[in-house]
Amino acid sequence: MERMDPGEREIVRTFRRQAQDVRRALEALDEQPSGRRMVDGYIEVDRWLERYRRLCVPIRRTFLDHDKASFRKSAAILGRLDDGALRAAAGDASRAYEDVMAQLARETVLGGRRVTGTEILKAWLDAAVFYDSTDTRRQYDEMLATFGKAAEGLAAEYTGDLARAVLRLDETAAAALGEPLRLPDPEPARPPPRERRTLPAWWPKLGRRG
């Protein structure tokens, strides 16, 4: 196919919006964290979950095949373009992504049982995205209780690998759409206009007597 139809362009643009969030989140993670300390043989960082949550939100969307922002959906569209260079670049990014997926399919022993990297990553992404410190269920704490503290390091590594594949495909998507690699930050949402209330005609008469 020579060019994308409007529906396909919208899918790729949806992916691109998530890729922009991935890029910003990685830049924030590159900043030197404060509050590093050793606890039970593991290095802990203050606000660890908050730091990674910003990355986990867009990565989770690109990871889910049914999501409109799915990596595989955009990779398939870009891999069918008539432009050979773009098609090859999309193929390279797709192979990098599938290499990570192959690693995720392997089993390891965590929490006293054999689990795949996919199980660990899904639990990590769900827990990080939906975690609420005020929630009595404490989904993130349950994830650690199930897989152990080592799951954090593994999941963070997998998330970083997926993020790099996302950015590679985003380069191809930007070229295919004729857009700059780095899109401008979205404008903050404006507050809704104040409702103007019209008083009924009889309102001033209420204060009048006789």
The first and second tokens of residue 59, run together, are: 């990565």
Q: Are 99 and 112 in contact (CB under 8 A)?
A: no
Residue type, 109: V
pLDDT digits (tens, 9 = 90+) for 78-126: 999 999 999 999 999 999 999 999 999 999 988 788 999 999 999 999 9
What single-letter DSSP state applies at residue 113?
A: E
Q: Supply the pLDDT for residue 47.
A: 57
Over pLDDT 70: what percentage of the chain?
Answer: 76
Helix axes 71-78, 6-30, angle to 10 degrees: 120
Q: Supply the pLDDT for residue 188.
A: 63
Q: Are 34 and 48 in contact (CB under 8 A)?
A: no
pLDDT digits (tens, 9 = 90+) for 46-90: 456 777 889 999 999 999 999 999 999 999 999 999 999 999 999
User: Does the pTM exceed 0.95?
Assistant: no
Per-position DSSP letters for 32-89, written without gaps between them: PPS--EEETTEEE-TTHHHHHHHHHHHHHHHH-TTSTT-HHHHHHHHTT-S-HHHHHH
Beta bridge partners, 107, equal: 116
Residue 154 CB partners (closer than 8 Å, separation 6+): 108, 110, 117, 120
Cα distance between residue 147 and residue 142, in whole Å: 9
